[in-house]
């Protein structure tokens, strides 16, 4: 009961105080929505007087024995009178306006109408409003301001002008290896390519809302080759719908295909300093990406289930296993026919289906199956099919600080059927079909805030061919371990060790190779949000 009385009295005080604030003597009452200078001044004075009041009250509290504070404060004559409520009588209470939206009752029928006159000793001992921290709630609920109740209060938190997020991520690596040909040992284009320093991935990332219908993204990658010449890639540039119904989303432009886990991500987000063997050899050193369109659908089921389907040209080095003319017109030792799409089946089709659920509050799993189907350039009717399966498990502590500690286990496997034709003008002696497969599995343990230790195993089986001596068709395996320190989420330093098990051939002279990489990264600009 006492609580109610306190509440009622407090409300009176608030409303009264507001009434005065909103209607300073000098300014007309109607002009309260857009804050005029006079009003700001009035509010400032109001805050000042409230502060004074608080101070006086607190002083008062100190001087009084605690017992007094327990009493109903209407019986506390020693308390100073709040000057504000006296100036506001009930007639100044905003009358419910007929124009007010009926959704939310505006008059304080429950509290104000049934409460005693405002100028009673309705002063709370401890302030219950503070205009230095909030715009007074009464501003919103009183109908005389003419503002809609659902209209946002003008002081907004998220109101910064922001047309485009810009960031710059740069990854470097200091490499040392027992193999002289690091560029042949490492399978990814953004991996370290020479002993010494490497700057293989400096990317400018732009994103933002295009308009109410689309979001736009762009990633422009600059990298230095082994002779320190700058190369530029338009890695991604696409727009994506935001307002399609039925859980649909369309993406169009140049983009990474949603094939497996790693392919669609950028090198600086990887957990290792280099690309897995299977990604580099089956999807290609640059990853599988190209110009095209993609539709994705979140299925209307209670768990996360998404179907994705992309169509792309599937042409060039970024569609490595497809219509890729190869280096100097040669791919897998065949002179390639660099051909246009003659029919729909020459395009690249990339479907994916992924599902995720949470075994517990701290664990998440995600399963995915992907495919990539298209033509290749080794013959007029040569085609390629790649199938992939991926699995992700993550545990994160319920008391995680900065996202640590966590354990993450990620595995991907791929199988490729590559119809290798006889090449340009049937110059190659035979046609063959390569059935290649490979996988990697990695476990990352974030054992302490900012610190992650990881281990990865790689295996790649390339079907031997009696006719080719291509170093990119070598079966091999690798084991890697690393330790990463993230001083903040904007920088990292990583030490990685790789041990490669190789077959001897004319390109790779030794059976084994040991490499050590020291990778370092920095991010400037927009806060990089973390995808799962």
Give residues 373-402 in contact with another protein (rule: CB under 8 A): 394, 396-402
Does residue 99 belong to the site contacting another protein (CB under 8 A)? Answer: no
Please tell me whether residue 413 adopts helix, strand or coil conformation. strand
Binding residue for another protein, selected from 67, 301, 344, 466, defined by CB under 8 A: 301
Closest to another protein by CB, 8 vs 347, is: 8
Q: Give the list of residues 6+ apart from residue 362 with CB closer than 8 angstroms, or none.
A: 395, 396, 397, 398
Does residue 44 belong to the site contacting another protein (CB under 8 A)? Answer: no
Binding residue for another protein, selected from 143, 177, 254, 364, defined by CB under 8 A: 364
Q: Taking CB under 8 A as the criterion, which residues in 245-284 touch another protein?
A: 247-249
Q: Taking CB under 8 A as the criterion, which residues in 430-489 touch another protein?
A: 449-450, 488-489
Residue with tokens 């991010």: 523
The count of other CB atoms within 10 Å of the CB of residue 230 is 10
Closest to another protein by CB, 81 vs 363, is: 363
The CA-atom distances, in angstroms, between 516 and each of 274, 499, 512, 525 are 11, 9, 14, 30
Per-residue contact flags (x/-) with another protein for residues 174 to 213, judged by CB under 8 A: ----------------------------------------
Please state the closest distance from residue 266 (CB atom) to another protein, in A: 13
Asked if residue 405 has a cis previous peptide bond (ω within 30° of 0), the answer is yes
> Is residue 171 within 8 Å of residue 522, measured between CB atoms?
no
Does residue 509 belong to the site contacting another protein (CB under 8 A)? Answer: no
Does residue 130 belong to the site contacting another protein (CB under 8 A)? Answer: yes
Please tell me whether residue 131 adopts helix, strand or coil conformation. coil
Please state the closest distance from residue 221 (CB atom) to another protein, in A: 21
Q: Taking CB under 8 A as the criterion, which residues in 45-84 touch another protein?
A: 58, 61-62, 66, 69
Rounded-to-integer distance, Cα 327 and Cα 503, Å: 23
**Nearest 5°: CA angle at 103, between 102 and 107?**
60
Please state the closest distance from residue 36 (CB atom) to another protein, in A: 19
Please state the closest distance from residue 356 (CB atom) to another protein, in A: 4
Instruction: Indicate the pairing of strand 248-256 with strand 230-241.
Output: antiparallel
Stretch that binds another protein, among 24-32, 87-95, 238-246, 287-295 (CB under 8 A): 238-246
* Helix axes 2-22 and 37-63, enclosed angle (nearest 10): 150
Number of residues that bind another protein (CB under 8 A): 85
For the purposes of burial, counting CB atoms within 10 Å of the CB of 475, is it exposed (0-12), middle (13-18) or buried (19 or more)? middle
Does residue 495 belong to the site contacting another protein (CB under 8 A)? Answer: no
Does residue 118 belong to the site contacting another protein (CB under 8 A)? Answer: no
Does residue 156 belong to the site contacting another protein (CB under 8 A)? Answer: yes
Closest to another protein by CB, 297 vs 501, is: 297
Rounded-to-integer distance, Cα 410 and Cα 180, Å: 31
Binding residue for another protein, selected from 31, 35, 149, 311, defined by CB under 8 A: 149
Rounded-to-integer distance, Cα 508 and Cα 472, Å: 11
Binding residue for another protein, selected from 31, 38, 111, 389, defined by CB under 8 A: 111
For residue 61, what is the enclosing H or E element?
helix 37-63
Does residue 41 belong to the site contacting another protein (CB under 8 A)? Answer: no
Q: Which two tokens stand for residue 221?
A: 């990658």
Stretch that binds another protein, among 5-13, 191-199, 326-334, 342-350 (CB under 8 A): 5-13
Does residue 403 belong to the site contacting another protein (CB under 8 A)? Answer: yes
């Amino acid at each position: 009961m006492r609580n109610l009385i306190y509440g009622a009295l407090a409300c009176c005080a608030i409303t009264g105080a507001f009434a005065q604030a909103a209607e300073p003597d000098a300014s007309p009452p109607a002009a309260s929505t857009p804050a005029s200078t006079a009003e700001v001044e009035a509010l400032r004075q109001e805050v000042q007087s409230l502060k004074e009041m608080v101070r006086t009250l607190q002083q008062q509290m100190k001087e009084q024995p605690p017992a007094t504070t327990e009493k109903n404060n209407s019986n506390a004559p020693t308390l100073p009178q709040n000057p504000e409520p006296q100036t506001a009588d009930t007639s100044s209470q905003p009358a419910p306006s007929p124009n007010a939206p009926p959704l939310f009752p505006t008059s304080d029928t429950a509290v104000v109408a049934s409460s005693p006159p405002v100028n009673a000793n309705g002063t709370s001992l401890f302030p219950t409003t503070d205009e230095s921290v909030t715009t007074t709630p009464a501003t919103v609920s009183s109908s005389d301001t003419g503002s809609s109740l659902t209209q946002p209060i003008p002081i907004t938190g998220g109101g910064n002008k922001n047309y485009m997020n810009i960031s710059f991520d740069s990854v470097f690596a200091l490499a040392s290896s027992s193999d002289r040909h690091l560029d042949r040992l490492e399978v990814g284009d953004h991996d370290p390519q020479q002993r010494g320093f490497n700057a293989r991935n400096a990317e400018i990332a732009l994103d933002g809302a295009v308009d109410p219908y689309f979001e736009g993204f762009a990633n422009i990658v600059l990298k230095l080759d082994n002779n320190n010449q700058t190369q530029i890639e338009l890695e991604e540039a696409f727009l994506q719908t935001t307002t399609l119904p039925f859980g649909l989303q369309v993406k169009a432009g140049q983009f990474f295909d949603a094939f497996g886990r790693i392919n669609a991500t950028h090198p600086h987000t990887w957990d290792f300093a280099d690309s897995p063997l299977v990604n580099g050899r089956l999807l290609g050193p640059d990853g599988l990406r190209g110009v095209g369109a993609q539709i994705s659908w979140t299925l209307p089921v209670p768990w996360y289930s998404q179907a994705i389907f992309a169509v792309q040209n599937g042409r060039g080095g970024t569609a490595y296993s497809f219509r890729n003319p190869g280096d100097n017109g040669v791919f897998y030792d065949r002179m390639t026919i660099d051909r246009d799409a003659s029919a729909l089946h020459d395009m690249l089709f990339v479907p994916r289906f992924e599902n995720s659920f949470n075994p517990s509050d701290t664990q998440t799993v995600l399963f995915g199956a992907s495919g990539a189907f298209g033509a290749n350039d080794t013959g007029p009717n040569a085609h390629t099919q790649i199938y992939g399966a991926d699995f992700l498990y993550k545990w994160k502590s319920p008391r995680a600080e900065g996202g640590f500690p966590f354990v993450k286990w990620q595995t991907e496997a791929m199988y490729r059927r590559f119809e290798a034709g006889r090449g340009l003008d049937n110059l190659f002696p035979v046609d063959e079909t390569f059935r290649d497969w490979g996988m990697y599995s990695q476990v990352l343990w974030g054992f302490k805030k900012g610190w992650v230790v990881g281990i990865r195993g790689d295996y790649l089986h390339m079907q031997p061919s009696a006719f080719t001596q291509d170093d990119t068709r070598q079966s091999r395996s690798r084991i890697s371990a690393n330790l990463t320190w993230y001083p903040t989420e904007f920088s990292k330093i990583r030490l990685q060790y790789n041990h490669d098990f190789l077959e001897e051939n004319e390109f790779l002279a030794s059976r084994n190779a040991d490499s050590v990489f020291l990778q370092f990264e920095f991010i400037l600009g927009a806060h990089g949000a973390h995808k799962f």
